[in-house]
Amino acid sequence: MRILVTGGAGFIGSHLVRRLLTGGDNFVVNLDALRYSGNLENLTDVAGHSRYTFVLGDICDATTVEKVLKEHGVKVVINCAAETHVDRSILDPNSFARTDVVGTAVLLEEARKAGVARFLQVSTDEVYGSVETGWSKEGDPLAPRSPYSASKAGGDLLVRSYWTTYRFPVLITRGSNTYGPNQYPEKFIPLFATNAIDDQPLPLYGDGRHRRDWLSVFDHCRGIEHVLFHGEPGCVYNIGGGNERENIAVAELILKILGKPMNLIRLVQDRPGHDRRYALDCARLQALGWAPTVLFEDGLKETVEWYRTNQTWWRKITSGEFRTYYERLYRQRLQGAG
Ligand SMILES: NC(=O)c1ccc[n+]([C@@H]2O[C@H](COP(=O)([O-])OP(=O)(O)OC[C@H]3O[C@@H](n4cnc5c(N)ncnc54)[C@H](O)[C@@H]3O)[C@@H](O)[C@H]2O)c1
């Protein structure tokens, strides 16, 4: 199958590209604008693969998207390209609306015009908003509360409209908090692992009791692939890891794995509008035969170990442009923290 993965140089996209290449006879085109989190080093092992092509380009650019779809005879589109970090969305909301809403619109329309057979939108549990009790089902109303999740929800609604209006065969996956190797070190688990390795404080928002359901990137990619091949067009599928934990418990586990003292944890001023809890009901996808396979404690240990043994990968990032952003965001908050 000829598959276009957008955002394939990012965290989830790169694992997905590898899985699609090595697990079948697919041809994979990776269209990525190489924004700050896009990193071709995530794919060095498959860069020379005979069924793999990388194209530098923006999903908001209709001419590029049209050309890629045509030149490579693309039959399936998986949209992983996005602005993804909530903290950044608070500082710069417009870039999220641009890529996550307008970029999705451009991609959808070009894919429809090109007669693509399946369009899978990779979305997030954050579109349901904060869920104090119970578990979000796919039909629940969307109640996003950050510019990131609102932009993702906008993308989801556009995708759904292409099914109701054009019967264009779309699918949406809503994954929970994902972790694993190659995740940009601003996100919770890699930030805490890399800080702990350097004996730096772990800046934990608010009271640290926010709850997330952790999903291994390997299970997430298996879920996306499962929905692609077995999902019903027009449907949404939740993908959760079944590993709900308080953030403070995850921080403690990272320190324990690295043998570092618990007093590295610093409670800092909470993120504005910080969602308290996300939780997914995944019965729909489980009925299709998918289930998570990675136990959180095992997956976290392997991930922390990856950051410990792949310091060249993340130190290039943390010593570059990222440092300015990181210092602005976290170091200030650490000042005066308890
Ligand atoms: N990481 C998670 O916990 C998580 C959970 C659920 C869903 N998701 C979703 O999965 C997808 C991938 O997330 P990720 O964590 O891998 O993000 P990431 O930030 O690591 O990767 C995003 C990729 O998109 C590329 N990109 C950004 N803007 C682009 C544009 N305009 N055109 C082309 N490429 C562009 C970047 O260069 C980067 O390679 C996103 O849609 C995200 O909403 C992520």
Which atom of ligand 1 sits closest to the CA of residue 85? 19
Residue 200 Cα, ligand 1 centroid: separation in angstroms?
A: 27
pLDDT of 186 strictly over 70: yes
Q: For residue 129, count other CB atoms closer than 10 A to its CB.
A: 22
Whether residue 201 sits in one domain with residue 150: no
Residue of 207, 224, 206, 228 lying closest to 215 (CA atoms): 224
Please check whether residue 280 lies inside any domain of the structure. no
State the total domains in the chain: 2
Query: Is 10 a pocket residue for ligand 1 (Cβ < 6 Å)?
Result: yes
> Quick one: pLDDT at residue 169?
98
pLDDT of 191 strictly over 60: yes
Whether residue 54 sits in one domain with residue 161: yes
Confidence of residue 5 (pLDDT cuts 50, 70, 90): very high
Provide the percentage of residues in the chain whose pLDDT is more than 90.
Answer: 93
Please check whether residue 285 lies inside any domain of the structure. no
Residue 23 Cα, ligand 1 centroid: separation in angstroms?
A: 22
Encoded amino acid at 333, one letter? R
Please check whether residue 153 lies inside any domain of the structure. yes
Residue 185 Cα, ligand 1 centroid: separation in angstroms?
A: 14
Whether residue 152 sits in one domain with residue 138: yes
pLDDT of 336 strictly over 90: no
Three-state DSSP at 192 gives helix
Three-state DSSP at 224 gives helix
Q: For residue 107, count other CB atoms closer than 10 A to its CB.
A: 27
Cβ contact 111:69 at 8 Å: yes
Confidence of residue 338 (pLDDT cuts 50, 70, 90): very low
For 20-40, b/e burial (b = at least 16 CB within 10 A) is: bbeeeebbbbbbbbebbbbbe
Give me the helices (H) in 185-295, please: 188-197, 217-230, 247-258, 283-287
Whether residue 270 sits in one domain with residue 143: no
Please check whether residue 106 lies inside any domain of the structure. yes
Query: Is 188 a pocket residue for ligand 1 (Cβ < 6 Å)?
Result: no
Q: How many CA atoms lie within 13 A of 203 on its CB side?
A: 19
pLDDT of 300 strictly over 80: yes
Whether residue 195 sits in one domain with residue 150: no
Query: Is 82 a pocket residue for ligand 1 (Cβ < 6 Å)?
Result: yes
CATH number of the domain encompassing residue 266:
3.90.25.10
Of 100, 126, 186, 219, catalytic: 126
Mean pLDDT confidence for 112-126: 98
> Quick one: pLDDT at residue 23?
84
pLDDT of 326 strictly over 90: no
Residues in the chain: 338
Whether residue 145 sits in one domain with residue 96: yes
Please check whether residue 288 lies inside any domain of the structure. no
Whether residue 218 sits in one domain with residue 97: yes
Whether residue 130 sits in one domain with residue 29: yes
Residue 10 Cα, ligand 1 centroid: separation in angstroms?
A: 6
Cα(109)–Cα(77) distance, rounded to whole angstroms?
A: 12
148 is catalytic: yes
DSSP assignment string, 29-56 = EEEE---TT--GGGGTTTTT-TTEEEEE
298 is catalytic: no
Mean pLDDT confidence for 287-300: 98
Residue linked to tokens 């928002």: 205
326 is catalytic: no
pLDDT of 235 strictly over 70: yes
Whether residue 85 sits in one domain with residue 19: yes
Query: Is 58 a pocket residue for ligand 1 (Cβ < 6 Å)?
Result: yes
Mean pLDDT confidence for 135-152: 98
Q: For residue 229, count other CB atoms closer than 10 A to its CB.
A: 11
Please check whether residue 251 lies inside any domain of the structure. yes
Of 128, 148, 184, 237, catalytic: 148
Residue 82 Cα, ligand 1 centroid: separation in angstroms?
A: 4
pLDDT of 328 strictly over 50: yes
Please check whether residue 283 lies inside any domain of the structure. no
Of 58, 100, 125, 213, catalytic: 125
Strand-strand pairing, 178-179 and 244-246:
unpaired
For the segment 243-256, what is each residue's pLDDT rounded down to a tens digit? 999 999 999 999 99
Whether residue 199 sits in one domain with residue 153: no
For the segment 196-224, what is each residue's pLDDT rounded down to a tens digit? 999 999 999 999 999 999 999 999 999 99
pTM: 0.96
Beta bridge partners of 236: 172
Confidence of residue 168 (pLDDT cuts 50, 70, 90): very high
Whether residue 103 sits in one domain with residue 202: no
- What is the average pLDDT score of the chain? 95
pLDDT of 232 strictly over 90: yes
For the chain, what is the largest distance between any 2 Cα atoms, rounded to a whole number of angstroms? 57
Pocket probe for ligand 1: among 5, 39, 84, the residue whose CB has the most ligand atoms within 8 Å is: 84
Whether residue 152 sits in one domain with residue 252: no
Please check whether residue 289 lies inside any domain of the structure. no
Cβ contact 242:218 at 8 Å: no
What residues make up the domain containing 24?
Answer: 2-178+213-239
CATH number of the domain encompassing residue 49:
3.40.50.720
